[in-house]
């Protein structure tokens, strides 16, 4: 039986698995590798703090996730793949209310980012 996401250690396992998938992915890998290059640890540390804040209200996350994504050449295909890989990482390790909440929050984030990007780029259709 799989456990739910319960603490920072669960979040680290999720984030590490997810970004292992991202790095190997033909759609997302090049986008992330162009920005992060070789040293992934600062990004991973930021993502641990982000998801810890998002799921458990823990202090420690500082940053503006949208501002980091706004200049990237990303579209609905990138967001759909991001959601697919994120859900796979969650479902591989966890089952429960917090795991479902994490997937829902990721979906809402993808929708919000795409909506903001659409406004910025004056694109009329956003697809998830």
pLDDT value at residue 127 = 57
Rounded CA separation 29/96 (Å): 29
pLDDT value at residue 30 = 94
Domains annotated for the chain, with CATH where assigned, are 8-121 (1.10.490.10)
pLDDT value at residue 128 = 54
pLDDT value at residue 2 = 85
- For the chain, which ranges sit under pLDDT 70? 121-128
pLDDT value at residue 100 = 98
pLDDT value at residue 93 = 97
pTM, whole model, 2 decimals?
A: 0.89
- Report which DSSP code applies to 4: P
Q: Rg for the chain (alpha carbons), in Å?
A: 14
């Amino acid at each position: 039986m799989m456990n739910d996401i319960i603490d920072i250690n669960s979040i680290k396992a999720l984030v590490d698995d997810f970004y292992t998938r991202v790095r190997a992915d033909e759609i997302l890998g090049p986008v992330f590798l162009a920005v992060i290059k070789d040293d992934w640890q600062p990004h991973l540390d930021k993502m641990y703090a982000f998801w810890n804040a998002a799921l458990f209200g823990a202090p420690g996350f500082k940053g503006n996730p949208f501002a980091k994504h706004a200049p990237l050449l990303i579209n609905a295909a990138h967001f759909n793949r991001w959601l697919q890989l994120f859900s796979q990482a969650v479902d591989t390790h966890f089952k429960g209310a917090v795991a479902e909440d994490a997937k829902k929050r990721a979906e809402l984030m993808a929708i919000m980012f795409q909506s903001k990007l659409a406004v910025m780029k004056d694109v009329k259709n956003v697809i998830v």
